[in-house]
């Protein structure tokens, strides 16, 4: 669409205003020379992206300016990073080269932009573009952490402007954001950005829940504001009398945080007590800030009674991403629990700006922090990555983005471990040889096995023996990348020896059936036995777990092996009866999966969320199999983050030939007629086929579980409306798993 001269003139004014906003944001920490360099980068970006537009129709230059402003204002990075943010797309999208960048802005800037460009360049043939993308992100963290900080800023702006993208792209980008970028932002200490990324991701993956919580927050805003004012008034007064220079304010928790609490505690919005948090920020010197935080805690708990189980001391032992604060929950007016976060101005800046602030305050202090340890761990994991990128991604999430526990060695050294870590993980964390020969441990002076899961505060003494060796089962007992890598290394050494023996046995078998021992024939046998590779085949033969007598049935002509499909069915596979049944049923379901020709093709329904006609669904093509999930299914969000390039457009058509098993949970006041009312509505009024109905009563209340066959969401909504109208019924909820 052609722009009028007035529109073009207005766009030029908008570009200049946005650029001035960027300069204002970076003024506190960018000198005159830095502003000249930023101006030069802006002009280059403006000329390079001239005529280019985003999906929304706005000039493309709006995007790099916005990313640069996030980098300056919300991440707190300096001149080089702002320049790279302005130019982050020019090498990929224009004729500007890395050599041009280096000659104009230096080698550091060129290296950062090279890292940003590499993240986005992934081979389309990769099994999971997202997993491979993530591997590249971690490589850039190990090289220069500014690359990922700029990439997070880029992703944040893309999420803020996602409404102009088609729905399947929204799902792909949102899922990837929740699964990959939000955890990285969290780990790098960017709490505000992490919360916003999660909220924006939730807006597209759980739109109804997001809007419901948002509306309820708006409805309760006035009452919440009045409560916060009355709550903090005595705190502020008491701290001022004590001569402390503090800032006290309240802010609501993020929508995604509230939703997570609702799910974790299985409660409604109204029952989440800590919907907001009170922050006390102390303006004090670094050498006395810990004592001042505890002094504030003392004053606050004189006013309000604390919950002793809800004290979190992250000033004595900071989180591994550098976060420091005292968190306590106190009983406020009207019997409401309120969370209070106490921290110094320095701690607050680290909490808001993360890694950039952490390193700024670390200047002159040579002590390593948990964040430095984490970056060392990133480099350690990358040095020995898993061959399979998806497995690599899962291991990384277990090691780098899991919750943490703090444990001690027998000598009292503190170790930070993932929350699911075992004794065996701890052994490998101390030393590889200790892990390889681990028998168990004394935890708090009691002997436990190698798979014992560690808990906060445990003191561990590893027990070892020279005759102990790793086994395949050990892999089920560990979660850390270091432990898995060490165990696999030893197992693979052993596996290769057994595989060599298996290869010799197979060669002898080929002689007996007069087949040539070559690559094509071996590949046919690999397929015949449903193995992943020839090494796996040789290994199983070496272990004598395969019946080679089945090879006598093969058709061998002129040394070539032909595998008859009927014969291959005799060999046991991993396909379960349940999957076979589902694949038979799916042929009758009326769902359109759009490919290049919009033809109806085969698909299967995911058992994790049991989608029914009318639900918002997404089809994900994994290794040639289409799985249909509800768009808000947690498993689907994880899969879309890994296989975002394999999301297939999907929609339902009207069809009532097939019914889907659906469960409802009903609660209410116990009544002798309740069973009659329920069965009458289901079987007589709505004529719905019911598989089972169970009701349990206790102290005047009952809980019932109904399993019915539903054709679509229209029929389901009809049923729930009718059931809720029954006298004494309190709730009717959909069961996620039937």
Strand partners, 648: 619
Mean pLDDT for the chain overall: 79
Q: What are the residues whose beta carbons fall under 8 Å from the beta carbon of 566, sequence distance 6 or more?
A: none
Spatial contact of 709 and 640, defined as CB atoms under 8 Å apart? no
**How do strand 617-622 and strand 625-630 relate by DSSP bridges?**
antiparallel
CB atoms within 10 A of CB 560: 13
Which range is most confident: 379-383, 587-591, 712-716? 712-716
Range of weakest confidence among 88-102, 236-250, 287-301, 479-493: 479-493
Round to whole Å and give the CA distance between 103 and 113. Answer: 13
- Tens-place pLDDT, residues 577-590: 333 333 333 344 44
- Average pLDDT (264-274) is 77
Among candidate residues 659, 666, 521, the one with its CA nearest the CA of residue 590? 659
Distance from the first to the final alpha carbon of the chain: 51
Given phi > 0 = left and psi -120 to 50 = alpha, else beta, which region is 588?
A: alpha
Please report the DSSP string for 460-479 in residue order: EEEEE-TT----GGGGGG--
pLDDT at 385: 46
Check residue 599 and give its pLDDT. 44
Model confidence band, residue 135 (pLDDT cutoffs 50, 70, 90): low
Span 623-634, average pLDDT: 75
Measured in degrees and rounded to the nearest 5, phi and psi for residue 203 equal: -60, -30
User: pLDDT tens digits for 150-170?
Assistant: 989 999 999 999 998 888 888
User: How many Cβ atoms sit within 10 Å of the Cβ of residue 296?
Assistant: 26
Please name every residue paired with 448 in a beta bridge, in sequence order, or none if there are none.
441
Active site residues: 92-93
Question: Which CATH code of 3.40.190.10, 3.40.50.2300, 2.160.20.10, 3.30.70.260 fits the domain covering 660-735?
Answer: 3.30.70.260
**Distance (Å, rounded) from C-alpha 448 to C-alpha 435?**
15
The hierarchical CATH code for the domain 214-362 is 3.30.460.10
Q: Is the separation of the CB atoms in 511 and 458 below 8 Å? A: no
Binning pLDDT at 50, 70 and 90, where does residue 242 land?
very high
Pairing status of strand 604-605 against strand 625-630: parallel
Note the pLDDT of residue 585: 36
Residue 388 predicted with pLDDT over 50: no
pLDDT score of 185? 84
In CATH, the number for domain 5-164 is 1.10.3210.10
Euclidean distance between CA atoms 460 and 448, whole angstroms: 10
Per-residue pLDDT tens for 560-577?
887 655 444 444 433 333
Q: Judge whether residue 365 has pLDDT over 50.
A: no
Residue 138 pLDDT > 70: no
pLDDT value of position 140: 60
Tens digit of each residue's pLDDT (9 = 90 or more) over 36-69? 999 999 999 999 888 888 888 889 999 999 999 9
Measured between alpha carbons, how far is 550 from 529 in angstroms, rounded to an integer?
10
Calpha distance 130→274 (Å, rounded):
35
Average pLDDT over residues 542-557: 76
- CB 472, CB 435: distance < 8 Å: no
Tell me whether strands 660-669 and 729-735 are parallel, antiparallel or unpaired: antiparallel
User: What residues have CB less than 8 Å from 546, skipping those under 6 apart?
Assistant: 529, 537, 540
Q: For the residues 114-138, what does the mean pLDDT come to?
A: 59
Buried b (16+ CB within 10 A) or exposed e, 84-103: bbbbbbbbeebebebebbbe
Residue 39: what pLDDT?
Answer: 93
Percentage of the chain exceeding pLDDT 90: 21
Using a CB cutoff of 8 Å and minimum separation of 24, what contacts does 621-625 make?
621/646, 621/647, 621/648, 622/646, 623/127
pLDDT over 70 (residue 616): yes
Higher pLDDT, 363 or 34: 34
383: confidence class by pLDDT, cuts 50, 70, 90:
low
Q: Which long-range contacts (CB under 8 A, 24 or more apart) does 286-291 make?
A: 286/344, 286/346, 286/361, 289/315, 289/344, 289/346, 289/347, 290/315, 290/316
Does residue 76 have a pLDDT over 70? yes
What are the tens digits of pLDDT across the range 316-356? 888 777 788 999 999 988 888 899 999 999 888 888 777 66
CA atoms of 641 and 175, how far apart (whole Å)? 5
> Alpha carbon 358 to chain centroid distance?
24
Instruction: Classify each residue of 202-215 as buried b or exposed e, where b means 16 or more C-beta atoms within 10 Å of its C-beta.
Output: bbbbbeebbeebee
Angle between helices 32-48 and 79-86 (to 10 degrees): 10
Residue 456: per-residue pLDDT: 82
* Candidate from 99-113, 192-206, 362-376 with smallest mean pLDDT: 362-376
Residues with Cβ within 8 Å of residue 534, at least 6 apart in sequence: 522, 523, 526
Specify the pLDDT at position 317: 82
What pLDDT does 274 receive? 73
Domain regions of the chain by residue span:
5-164, 214-362, 371-488, 489-568, 577-652, 660-735
138-147, 225-234, 370-379: which is most confident? 225-234
Taking the C-alpha atoms of residue 86 and residue 80, their distance in angstroms, rounded to an integer, is 10
pLDDT, tens digit, 9 for 90 and up, residues 673-686: 777 888 888 888 88
Q: For the segment 393-439, what is each residue's pLDDT rounded down to a tens digit? A: 555 554 555 567 778 888 877 787 888 899 999 999 889 899 999 98
**Is pLDDT at 500 greater than 70 in this prediction?**
yes
Quote the distance between the C-alpha of residue 74 and its chain's center. 22
Computed from CA positions of residues 529, 532, 536, 538, in that sequence, does the dihedral angle turn out positive or negative? positive
Report the C-alpha gap between 500 and 482 in whole angstroms: 27
The top-scoring range by mean pLDDT among 60-74, 269-283, 356-370, 711-725 is: 60-74
8 A C-beta contact, residue 277 and residue 340: yes
pLDDT band at 115 (very low <50, low <70, confident <90, very high): confident
**Residue 579 confidence (pLDDT):** 35
Asked whether 293 and 279 are in contact (CB, 8 A), the reply is no
Supply the CATH classification number for the domain 371-488. 3.10.20.30
8 Å CB contact between 269 and 258: yes
Task: Decide whether 214-362 matches 660-735 in CATH topology.
Answer: no
SS3 content of the chain, % helix, strand, coil (to 5): 55, 15, 30
DSSP 533-574: SHHHHHHHHHTT-S-GGGGGGSEEETTEEE--HHHHTTS--S
Residue 736 has what pLDDT?
67
- Partners of residue 417 on adjacent β-strands: 405
Please give the C-alpha separations between residue 576 and each of 285, 477, 581, 628, 738, in angstroms, as whole numbers. 65, 26, 9, 18, 19
Longest dimension (CA), the chain: 99
Structural contact between residues 720 and 663, judged by C-beta atoms closer than 8 angstroms = no
């Amino acid at each position: 669409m052609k722009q009028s001269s007035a529109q073009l003139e207005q766009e030029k004014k908008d570009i200049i205003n946005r650029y001035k906003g960027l300069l204002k944001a970076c003024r506190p920490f960018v000198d005159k020379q830095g502003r000249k360099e930023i101006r030069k980068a802006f002009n280059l970006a403006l000329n390079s992206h001239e005529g280019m537009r985003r999906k929304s129709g706005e000039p493309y230059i709006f995007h790099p300016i916005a990313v640069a402003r996030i980098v300056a204002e919300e991440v707190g990075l300096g001149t080089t990073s702002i320049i790279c943010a302005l130019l982050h797309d020019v090498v990929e999208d224009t004729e500007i080269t890395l050599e041009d960048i280096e000659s104009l802005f230096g080698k550091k800037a060129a290296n950062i932009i090279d890292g940003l460009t590499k993240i986005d360049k992934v081979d389309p043939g990769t099994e999971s573009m997202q997993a491979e993308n993530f591997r590249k992100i971690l490589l850039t963290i190990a090289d220069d952490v500014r690359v990922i900080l700029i990439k997070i800023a880029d992703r944040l702006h893309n999420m803020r402007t996602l409404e102009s993208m088609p729905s399947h792209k929204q799902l792909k980008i949102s899922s990837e954001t929740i699964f990959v970028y939000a955890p990285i932002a969290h780990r790098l200490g960017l709490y505000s950005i992490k919360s916003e990324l999660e909220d924006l991701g939730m807006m597209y993956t759980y739109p109804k829940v997001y809007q419901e919580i948002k509306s309820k927050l708006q409805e309760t805003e006035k009452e919440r504001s009045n409560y916060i004012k009355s709550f903090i008034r005595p705190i502020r007064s008491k701290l001022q009398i004590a001569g402390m220079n503090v800032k006290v304010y309240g802010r609501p928790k993020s929508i995604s945080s509230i939703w997570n609490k609702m799910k974790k505690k299985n409660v409604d919005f109204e029952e989440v007590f800590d919907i907001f948090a009170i922050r006390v920020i102390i303006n004090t010197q670094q050498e006395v800030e810990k004592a001042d935080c505890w002094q504030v805690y003392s004053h606050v708990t004189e006013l309000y009674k604390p919950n002793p189980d809800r004290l979190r001391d992250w000033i004595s032992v900071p989180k591994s991403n550098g976060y420091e604060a005292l968190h306590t929950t106190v009983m406020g007016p009207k019997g409401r629990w309120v969370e209070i976060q106490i921290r110094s101005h320095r701690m607050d800046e680290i909490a808001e700006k993360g890694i950039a602030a952490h390193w700024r305050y670390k200047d002159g202090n040579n002590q390593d922090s948990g964040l430095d340890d984490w970056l060392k761990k990133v480099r350690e994991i990358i040095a020995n990555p898993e061959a399979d990128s998806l497995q690599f991604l899962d291991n990384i999430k277990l090691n780098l983005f899991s919750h943490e526990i703090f444990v001690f060695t027998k000598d009292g050294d503190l170790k930070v471990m993932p929350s699911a870590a075992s004794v065996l993980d701890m052994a490998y964390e101390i030393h590889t040889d200790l892990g390889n020969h681990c028998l168990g441990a004394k935890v708090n002076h009691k002997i436990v096995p190698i798979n014992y899961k560690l808990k906060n505060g445990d003191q561990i003494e590893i027990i070892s023996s020279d005759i102990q060796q790793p086994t395949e089962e050990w892999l089920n007992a560990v979660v850390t990348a270091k432990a898995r890598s060490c165990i696999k290394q030893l197992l693979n050494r052993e596996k290769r020896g057994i595989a060599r023996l298996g290869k010799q046995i197979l060669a002898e078998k080929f002689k007996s059936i007069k087949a040539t021992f070559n690559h094509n024939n071996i590949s046919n046998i690999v397929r015949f036995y449903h193995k992943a590779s020839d090494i796996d085949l040789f290994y199983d033969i070496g272990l004598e777990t395969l019946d080679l007598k089945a090879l006598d049935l093969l058709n061998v002509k002129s040394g070539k092996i032909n595998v008859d499909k009927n014969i291959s069915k005799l060999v046991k596979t991993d396909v379960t009866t349940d999957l076979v049944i589902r694949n038979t049923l799916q042929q009758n379901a009326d769902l359109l999966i759009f490919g290049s020709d919009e033809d109806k093709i085969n698909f299967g329904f995911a058992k994790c969320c049991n989608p029914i006609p009318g639900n918002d669904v997404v089809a994900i093509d994994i290794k040639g199999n289409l799985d249909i999930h509800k768009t808000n299914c947690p498993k689907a969000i994880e899969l879309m983050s890994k296989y975002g390039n394999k999301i297939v457009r999907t929609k339902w058509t009207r069809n009532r030939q097939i019914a889907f098993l659906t469960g409802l949970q009903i609660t209410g006041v116990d009544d002798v007629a309740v069973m009659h009312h329920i069965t009458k509505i289901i079987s007589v009024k709505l004529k719905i086929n019911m598989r089972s109905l169970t009701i349990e009563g206790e102290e005047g209340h009952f809980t019932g579980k109904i399993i019915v066959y539903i054709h679509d969401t229209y029929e389901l909504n009809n049923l729930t409306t009718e059931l809720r109208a029954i006298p004494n019924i309190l709730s009717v909820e959909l069961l996620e798993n039937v």
